[in-house]
Amino acid sequence: MGIGVSIVLIAIGAILTFAVHAAVSGVSIVAIGIILMVAGVIGLIVTLTIFTPRRRDGAVERERVIERHDVY
């Protein structure tokens, strides 16, 4: 799941939770909205932790020394 899909799920969940005031028999629209928001937040966290570049704190830098031997 990408960042865009996660944001869309959060937005649709928020709309269902806070803006829709319809009643459907046997289905709680508020519960579906909350489930979609939670799934979107989890997807966003997973996407950001997997696809963000990791820092290399213990990386060793090597200095490259080129010796020049002039031959005359």
Q: What is the pLDDT of residues 1-54, one digit of tens each?
A: 788 999 999 999 999 999 998 888 899 999 999 999 999 999 999 999 888 766
The domain ranges of the chain are: 3-51
Cα 28 to Cα 20: distance, rounded to the nearest angstrom:
11
Cα 53 to Cα 31: distance, rounded to the nearest angstrom:
35
Segments of 1-72 assigned E as strands: none
What tokens appear for 49 in the block?
């932790």
Is this model's pTM higher than 0.95 or not? Answer: no
Tell me if 7 sits within 8 A of 47, measured CB to CB. Answer: no
Tell me if 56 sits within 8 A of 15, measured CB to CB. Answer: no
